[in-house]
Structure 1
Amino acid sequence: MAKALKVAAFAVAIAAAIPTGGGSTLLAGALGVSAATASAFATAVALEASIVGAMTAKKPSVGGVQTTWTADPDSPIPILFGRTLASGDIRYRKQHGRDNAYDTIVSVLSGCGPVHAITQTYIDKEPISFSGGLFGHYTIGGQPRIWQDIQYGACPEAMALSNGVGTPPGWGSGSKLSGYAAVMNSLLFDGKGDETLTSTPQLNWLGEWVLCYDPRQDSTFPGGDGPCRWDDQTTWVYSENGWIQALTFAIGWHQGPSNIRVGGAGLSIDAIDVAAYVEAANIADANGWKSGGRVTTADDKWEVMKALAQAGGGEPIRHGAILSCYVNTPRVPIATIYEDDLIGEGSSSTCQTMRDRPNGITPKYTSEDHFWEQVPAGTVQNAAYLAKDGRERTKAVTYPMVQCKAGETPDQAAQLAAYDIANAREASPIALPLKLRWIGFRPGDCLHIDEGAKSFGWIAGKDVIIIKRALDPTTATVTLTLRTEDPDKHAWALSQVGVPAPVTDSTSNPAMDTPEASSWAASAGTGDVPSIVITGACESPSATSIDFAYRPNGATSWADQFTAGADSTGKEFGGLASGASYQVGVRYRSAFGLSDWLILGPVTVGTLTASSAATADTATNAGNATQLGGTYTAADITTILNRLDAADIP
């Protein structure tokens, strides 16, 4: 035993000095075994550096604003996961053309390209399409005003971005942005026309972003099927699974002929417990849990790992020199701790502190209905916990990589919040010093406490989860730090249905109300020629002008339109076909835009008589001469035609 303890102590000393992996060759030489065996042994006896505690651990914090177009050339590179909105980080901006009418802007949307797809462009939160879909020009007021070219971030890119508008200074064929999903926009500020650009609009892009390594699509991984390979990014696939994203972040993205890491942690696949991530990914898929959002290269890598894992319902674990993970899911105990496994005395805490034991959580999530802002969902509360506590104890928790599609309820955010509430009710920490045979168990494993052992006290008969493991080489004692595991919490947590945040404002400017039917009337004119008379008064306090129009009954487009001030009391349209039927339209204009048309009529106008034709103005006669017919005498027609000839009208 003394020899075993000496070897174990030496291994722990070596492993403790290598917290991030490596050193197997040194350990192998010292122990006289293979590097693979030494690595496994060092991992088994290394002191655990982290715990799995959903409420006791600090929640992840990652940076990144998804909706604001930023203009900091020194800002870190964004990395976008899943289906989410990109704000764009401006990397180039110059004015050019005559009178500097063109403003050309190049924005980086995401690093670690190529990305999977860019699907939609938004201007001031409204979806728009260019002449070529995502490429070409966008027309405002009947004239092209915005041009766009995009790239997905191939490495290398075949050519630099170019939207064909002029020659932006300092930008040429060598201005490639290989490896970056990026976009070039040129905006025209010429001041011509009724609808022109007066300021730079807010532009955003919706896409499906970085590609990931999914072992489940790798035929070289046990149980996998497909061409995906961890060391070949050309085989990677798009994923919205937080665990697959976290595994990929741990591996990192590498680009260029020198295979430089441009994002992620850069771990070797041998330093990752891939099987644990695959198990967690399958559970997340089964629960419908997805991950999406924005992080940057300046974010702490462990915080990014925590945020991605949080969206998948768990946490990453430093299992000695190996990166592993834990996911919330119903578990079956894989071993039982008996009384004779104890070495010395253990300790236990019946509950966590009151501060860390809420009975309700208000989860914050990213909402597409709120144009990708982080908003609070309805508070998730456990009625039994509330009754036991006697008063509400709630807190807000942000889930930065949890999103909710438009029109859906934030069930995922509610379920994760429920797990956080339930886990906070578990008793922890429970420390049990055990015999050396327990060194093979790992954080996340579920064990059972022998119900017949009196020395275990109140924890006898309970299931527990390992949250930490340590070895004392001088006594050959393995100390497991445990947390109780209530099997009933899973059904409650997974049954939660999220309550979405109310949508308090629209993504577009408020529309003008349609004019009230009681405010306007249309009738046939009583003059000598056919006409329509529109009378009334504008009831809208925000209207700045009024549009009047008419069209033949049954037509879909207006024959004529006239704009008057908001104080106008009407309009008369003349020169109409004798005895014809017409519809009339009235609408309002304001700073908010245009109202819908108020449709009046149909109105049947009067007929043109020989007498009225003789006195009508030239334009009216020109429009109605062919309508004069059988109801007139030959003398009437001769008189009319003579008058038309005198007016020199063909």
Structure 2
Amino acid sequence: MPFIAPAIAAIGAAATGIASFVGGLGIVGQALLGIGLNFAVSALRGDQKQEPVSGTQLQVQYGADRPREVAVGLVAVAGHDVYTNTYGASNKYMQKVFVLSDFPVTALTRIAVNGEWRAINWGNVEGRGAQVTGFEKDVLRIRFYDGRHTALQAAEFGEHGLVGSSNPAGRWTADHVGKATSFVVVNARFDDEEMASLPQFLFEFQGAPLYDVRKDTTAGGAGAQRWNDVATWEYSENPIVQAYNYERGFFANGQLLVGKGVPVADLPAAPWMSAANVCDESTPTRSLRYRAGALFSTSDGVTHSDNLAPVLEACSGGLFYLVDGDHPIVGANQPVVATLTDDDIIVGSPRQFRAKRSRSDLVNTVFGTYNSPDDLWAATSYDPRSSAPALAADRERHAKALNFGAVFVASQASDLAEAALRRARYQASETVIVRPRWIVLEPGDWISLASARYGTRTYQVVGRSLGALNANGARNVTLTLDEVGNGIYDSSVVIPERPPRISPGFPVRLSTLQGFIAYASQVTNAAGRALPAITVQWDLIDDVTVDAVVIEYWKSDDPARRIQATFDRASVSGVVAEGLVPRTSYTLQGTVVTNPPRNTFFSAPQIVTTLTEDLAAELADLQEDIQEILRFGPESLARFEELLEGLAATIATTNVVQHSEAENANASLIEERTTRATETEALARRTDGVVAELTDVATLATGTATVVETMEGRVTLTEEGLAVAAERQEIVESRIDSVEGVNLGQANALNSLSTSVTQQGNSITAQANLISGVQATVGEVSAQGLFSTQVVAGGSGGSVRLALLARVTAGSGYTQTGIFLDITNGVGTVLIDANRFIITDGANPNVFPFVVQGGIVKLAIARFQQLISDNGKMLIDGSGGTISIYD
């Protein structure tokens, strides 16, 4: 791979010829960051542009044309792949070189191989490097260069080194040192069981050693660190220390690699030391309050603000650019440095006060992600933070994301989100003009302002300017103030919530029916018949845009079938009766119709059970149901006789497969097999039977015995859809015919099973039938016994109909009795069809306590509590022993 050598040469020249990101922005460029910038709060307000600058780089980078990156704090990267080499017998070994950072780093802590963390055994080092644990065989080793080296390790010139094993020789030479660049050499030995292919890597390491001004005696601190001696620097996860180093810049051989290059004179040590000390404080859940890990980048479009934002967000911090230089501020409550009153404000000067943020700036819920080392440094959600008092005050959720690209501790991310949320709940702001003596106030200071009109509040100075000479004097100071308080970082402090501004009310327009109720009642038709009804009521409507009231109702167990009734808007009640049946549960709801039309909705449903109607009307309606059930008996008998008549046709069309014949007798076995398959039909049918026939030579009467079994299955495709049917029939018949062919006597028994499923569009109907019957006929007298069942499912529900029927026919008349069981439309019925219906206990054959005969109920003996006449005018009280008659 000859194209790799130029890339490695570029690494070797990093210390002497790297074109860097532009250094200091100068006074104007620095001002672009804004006075009083707090990155976390700005992100919540939507002011801060969120760039993909963070402490992770999970995708491998390729090619020589890539931005410089300097890692600080604890970070993880997949690395920059700059070299690949295979060597050994059958190219059994592979070398890879991954650049971690374009600046020295402190330590390589662990490595993830194919998504699983592995430790590095630095005590087991040989020619291929330190052993990566977790494998049964010695298949993976690494060598680590922290960037502070001046030459290649001796191992690189051995059998498994970059120089010693380069293939072909000379691809990697002693000149490819990679000074000031931290990188890892991976050596993999291919093995069919554990290393069949090169795995994916993720390297976790401690970033650059950093200069800490607190540890430099010559800068006002205490320690041996010196800015001009990198060897004295130490690894640090302190966000302010990281930001300080970025401000001064990262250099190699006098060249600025990354950072601003701000002179030390513009970075006063005292505020930087103070802010760094706050980051190193402990909390109840952490030994260090704020920690960070980031990759400072020179990628196109990435500004100094983009690089600093993740680090300063990690400590809820910001930068203020003052006359004496750049000042940091960190997430902690600040002391109040001054107290102002109305007397300090220039009388007659313009004053702007806002007690509450606009709705677009409100935040009451914060969520987001941090970099989780346990999850391979993936962006992982921290516990979202929300404020119940804020939600109540805002009357709706205002959620914003706050992603921490340089935070790798979950509790820290949650605390930062909580602080940012609480900071946003201090909502007041002011712009005031005060007397010249307050020129001493600086952006970032916390002050107290007591106002007779607006109350006493604590503010942070976020802007300051001097005024020109005018009628109010010269050098007056304009202060821009944002409300703050100790509640930002102290959750025990209650932040007062201010109710939102409520706009003047608009006319109330109804969107549903108010005060809707319903109850059971009755109505009387023209014939004087009492029918069930439901009375509905609602509140008086004074909305002039309402045209009408609509009531919708349905059987509670059949919501698909709904009825609507419309009433005038001026009414407050109405009666619905259409389609109602007695003693049935109905659900009702109401709404309004408006002009001009607008969205409306139905009121809460009301459930009502209808009353009964008078007995005569109820029996009249019941008569139709009874006739419908009774029709099932004759229909079943007709089907029974139809099947019997089909016997002769079946025998005539089947094949005789075996036949025996004598002078006056014959016997046959019959059989038929039919199959057919077309584009619109599939059919299979089988018929088996026996026929035996014998003639009496004396009387010439013929006796015939027949048994036939038929099975058929059919599937048909029609324009409406599929029709599927299956049938099985068993028929036995015995008969005697005269010499003239007149039937003298016949007995039949039949058992028929049939099923069908039909499809019509999206509707499916399934039906099954069973008929079992016997019949005996001599002359004009016929006796029949039948059991028939029909079940149907589909459409709007299901039904079951069963008949146990007996009939004797003599001439043109017949006598019939039967029991019918029926379930239709959710109503179960037991119907007995008889001339005489008797109930007896069988113990006393002389006593029949309950008899129905000739349509009259006869009771031999009965006990009752009350008997009421149909018109309600006569009452017999069986308990009290009275008879009452009313006019």
Unmatched segments (≥5 aa) in structure 1 = 1-17, 23-42, 405-409, 496-650
Alignment of 1:111 with 2:99, yes or no, is: no
Shift of 1:75: 2.2
Distance 2:69 2:324 in 1: 29
**1: CA distance between counterparts of 2:402 and 2:318?**
15
CA distance in 2, matches of 1:383, 1:331: 26
Counterpart contact for 2:119–2:133, Cα < 8 Å: no
Given candidates 22, 37, 44, the residue that maps to 1:52 is: 37
- In structure 2, the partner of 1:61 is 51
CA contact (8 A) 1:48 1:319 kept: no
Say if 2:275 is the partner of 1:275. Answer: no
The answer to whether structure 1 residue 363 and structure 2 residue 363 are counterparts is: no
* Aligned counterpart, 2:230: 233
Which structure is higher in helix share?
Answer: 1
Native 8 Å contact 1:160 1:172 kept in 2:
no
Query: Counterpart amino acid of 2:318?
Result: E
1:141 and 1:195 in contact (8 A); partners too: no
> Is 1:339 the equivalent of 2:342?
yes
Question: Could you tell me how far 1:132 is from its partner in structure 2?
Answer: 4.7
CA contact (8 A) 1:155 1:255 kept: no
Please list, as runs of the form range in 1=range in 2, the aligned pairs for 1:81-230 lying within 5 A after superposition. Answer: 81-113=72-104, 115-124=105-114, 125-129=116-120, 132-133=123-124, 135-136=129-130, 144-154=138-148, 156-157=150-151, 159=153, 162=156, 164-165=159-160, 166-169=165-168, 170-189=171-190, 194-222=192-220, 224-230=221-227
Aligned residues: 440
The structure having more radius of gyration, on CA atoms, is 2
SS at match of 1:461: strand
1:488 aligns to 2:487 (yes or no): yes
Letter in 2 for 1:51: G
Matches within 5 A, 1:565-644: none
- Which is richer in strand? 2
What SS does the corresponding residue of 1:388 show, helix, strand or coil?
helix
Contact 1:230-1:269 at 8 Å conserved across structures? no
- 5 Å-filtered alignment, 1:218-617, equals 218-222=216-220, 224-256=221-253, 259-286=254-281, 287=283, 288-298=289-299, 299-320=302-323, 322-343=325-346, 344-404=349-409, 410-450=410-450, 453-454=451-452, 457-458=453-454, 460-474=455-469, 475-492=474-491
- Shift of residue 250, structure 1, vs aligned partner: 0.9
Q: What is the distance in 2 between the residues matched to 1:334 and 1:131?
A: 53
1:362: Cα distance to partner? Answer: 0.8
Structure-2 change in CA distance of 1:158 and 1:442 (3 Å): farther
Whole-Å Cα distance in 1 between the matches of residues 139 and 492 of structure 2?
51
CA distance in 2, matches of 1:249, 1:174: 30
SS across alignment from 2:199? coil
Q: Report the CA distance between 1:156 and its aligned residue.
A: 3.2
Report the 3-state secondary structure (helix = DSSP H, G, I; strand = E; otherwise coil) of the residue aligned with 2:306: helix
- Taking a change above 3 Å as real, the CA distance of residues 383 and 273 of structure 1, as seen in their structure-2 partners, is farther
Letter in 2 for 1:464: Y
The letter for the 2-side match of 1:469 is: R
Cα 1:133–1:362 change in 2 (3 A) is farther
Separation in 2 of the partners of 1:481 and 1:175?
Answer: 56
Distance 1:157 1:442, change over 3 A: farther
Q: CA deviation at 1:159?
A: 5.0
Deviation at 1:371, TM superposition (A): 1.4
CA deviations 1:390-444 (Å, max 9, x no partner) are 232222210111112xxxxx22111111121122222354211122222221111
Does the 8 A contact of 1:246 with 1:308 survive in 2?
A: yes
Q: Deviations over 1:110-165 (max 9, x none)?
A: 1221x221122331223044585573455898654334211110153455882742
Structure 2 length-normalised TM: 0.46
* In structure 1, distance between residues paired with 2:133 and 2:214: 46
Offset at residue 480 of structure 1 (A): 1.0
State whether residues 251 and 265 of structure 1, in contact with CA within 8 Å, keep that contact through their aligned partners in structure 2: yes
Q: 1:47 to 1:210 in 2, by over 3 A?
A: closer
Query: Once the 2 structures are TM-superposed, how far is the Cα of residue 101 of structure 1 from its aligned partner?
Result: 4.1
Deviation at 1:91, TM superposition (A): 1.8
Give 1:341 shift: 2.5
Inter-partner Cα distance in structure 1 for 2:194 and 2:173: 28
Q: 1:76-106: CA deviations, max 9, x gaps? A: 2332222232321112223444554443211
What SS does structure 2 have at the residue aligned with 1:403?
coil
Percent identity among equivalent residues?
23
Q: State the match for 1:595 in structure 2.
A: none
CA–CA distance in structure 2, aligned partners of residues 155 and 435 of structure 1: 59
| Partners of 1:305 and 1:289 in 2: CA distance | 15
The residue number in structure 1 matching 2:20 is none
Q: Does 1:20 align with 2:26?
A: yes
Retained in 1: the 8 A contact 2:85–2:166?
no
Secondary structure at 1:462 match in 2 = strand
- Give distance in 2, aligned partners of 1:105 and 1:270: 44
Q: Are residues 80 and 436 of structure 1, via their aligned partners in 2, closer, same or farther at CA, if it must alter by over 3 Å?
A: same
Tell whether the 8 Å contact from 2:53 to 2:307 is kept in structure 1 after alignment.
no
In the TM superposition, what is the alpha-carbon distance from 1:20 to its structure 2 partner?
1.7
Deviation for aligned residue 1:71: 2.4
Q: Is the 8 A contact 1:213 1:248 kept in 2?
A: yes
Show the counterpart of 1:561: none
**Native 8 Å contact 1:84 1:208 kept in 2:** yes
